[in-house]
Structure 1
Amino acid sequence: MTATTLHSDRFEAMRMAMVASQLRPSGVIDARVVAAMAETPRERFVPAGMEALAYRDTTIDLGEGRRANTPLATARLLVEARLRADDRVLLIGAGTGYTAAIIAQISREVIAVESTPALAAAARENLRAYINVTVVENPLEHGHAAGAPYDVLMIDGAVEQVPATLYTQLIERGRVVTGLVDRSVSRLAAGARDADVIGLLPFADYDSVRLPGFAKPRSFTF
């Protein structure tokens, strides 16, 4: 057995442990999400030197002031999105491409938006084999209107608000999943577009990495 094979076997064992100890006991019940996360080598989507952290229940520093969500937070969002095979998905916060790779194995098309040039370049490189993923470099809060409408909006991180520039890129009754920051506490939430508004309800009290560009306007107090 070669050193490369031993290295690969080690990461495969870590993936299986993640599925068994993090995902299955915590409400990740969509078999397609579980299968995709069990097969996708997350260690290839993290910065060099951080591969040992790829399957731990922790966020990962991606550089450029950004962090990757925990596997569990991402998995819970994916389950609540109720992805279908014919969905077109707008993913906000592509990072280095891991979440886009998972969605691409379940749904028809993924438009993955990333605002940081270095991360967008890494995502394109990591996702070269996924022909149904397009990485778009754009401010996260702008999405990608040129590709609208989408069936699903997934924000892979926590925001203070979901701006109209994003949810109006959805079809009517299009699904939304995101992390929400409320008084410094983040929760995972899901909902749908109804005309020109969205209704979001928290479904899990999981921490989620915060994404830039989604702060609510601050009011003055006297």
Structure 2
Amino acid sequence: MDYAYARQNMVESQLRTNRVFGERLLDAFETLPRELFVPETIRSISYIDEDLHIGGGRYLLEPMVLGRLLQAADIQESDVALDIGCTTGYATAILARLCSTAVGLESDPGLVDTANDLLSRMEISNAVVVQGDLAEGYPKQAPYNVILVNGGVEELPAGLTEQLAEGGRLVTVTRPASGGIGRARLYRKDEGIVSNRILFDASTPVLEEFKAPPRFVF
């Protein structure tokens, strides 16, 4: 399979046609080998316009969704970014192309090892993946200018927005616990107040760690 052609086609048919225009961002998508971040058995579909299940309830986000989220985050070269639920490190690697430092957070130790190995093989020196509870974020490295929650969220822990720097942005897809369509959202902290707005509809699978706890109903 011609993966270079597949990457170019992904950029032209999935990103540009869905209003992803940032040239630095598009260049990162076009040059980063997405096929290496998925199991070998599904590499032939690594550029499909769907979320890719890589096992254990973890997915690589659909390229269009990831691209639009990162574009909305308005990432600057001086930013420090946190990628929560980074799986094999694909989005972490893209973030590393856009900002000064990228930290990936993953709870699965096997995925942590895989992600760090891939980052090392690609000689990406400004990114690292650490193990920890996704819902707690990674306060040790906070504050962050950008936080990406790499999956759907039914309930966003307040502790994550507390790890945003002033002017910081958090992007994710929120989904109602009762079911229904998800909404990509941009959260922003200004003068200590966090506001949010809907960006677009998305059907991103919910991360187990961000499911709303069951509530008793009379």
1:180-220: CA deviation from partner (whole Å, max 9, x where unpaired): 11242212110212466522211111221321211223331
1:166 aligns to what? 160
**1:186 corresponds to 2:178:** no
**1:66 corresponds to 2:80:** no
Q: Kindly report which structure 2 residues correspond to 1:69-148, keeping only aligned pairs within 5 A, or say none.
A: 69-128=61-120, 129-148=123-142
1:140-176: CA deviation from partner (whole Å, max 9, x where unpaired): 1111111111111111211012212211111122111
CA pair 151-169 structure 1, distance change in 2 beyond 3 A: same
Gaps of 5+ in 1: 1-6
* 1:192–1:200 contact (8 Å) kept in structure 2: yes
**1:202 corresponds to 2:198:** yes
**1:156 corresponds to 2:150:** yes
CA–CA separation in structure 1 for the residues paired with 2:56 and 2:213 = 24
Q: Which moved more, 1:80-89 or 1:136-145?
A: 136-145
* 1:73–1:207 contact (8 Å) kept in structure 2: no
Q: Percent identity?
A: 34
- Residue type of the alignment partner of 1:36: A
Runs of 4+ more than 6 Å apart: none
Return the offset for 1:65. Answer: 2.2
1:102-125: CA deviation from partner (whole Å, max 9, x where unpaired): 111110000110111121111111
CA–CA separation in structure 2 for the residues paired with 1:196 and 1:63 = 38
2:209 aligns to what? 213
Gaps of 5+ in 2: none
The 3-state SS of whatever aligns with 1:157 is strand
Number of aligned residue pairs: 214
1:31 aligns to what? 23
1:4 aligns to what? none
- Residue type of the alignment partner of 2:19: G
* 2:3–2:35 contact (8 Å) kept in structure 1: yes
- Residue type of the alignment partner of 2:62: T
* 2:57–2:208 contact (8 Å) kept in structure 1: no
- Residue type of the alignment partner of 1:145: P
CA–CA separation in structure 2 for the residues paired with 1:207 and 1:64 = 19
Compute the TM-score of the two structures, normalised by the length of structure 2.
Answer: 0.93
CA–CA separation in structure 2 for the residues paired with 1:138 and 1:84 = 26
The 3-state SS of whatever aligns with 1:192 is strand
User: RMSD in angstroms over aligned alpha carbons?
Assistant: 1.4
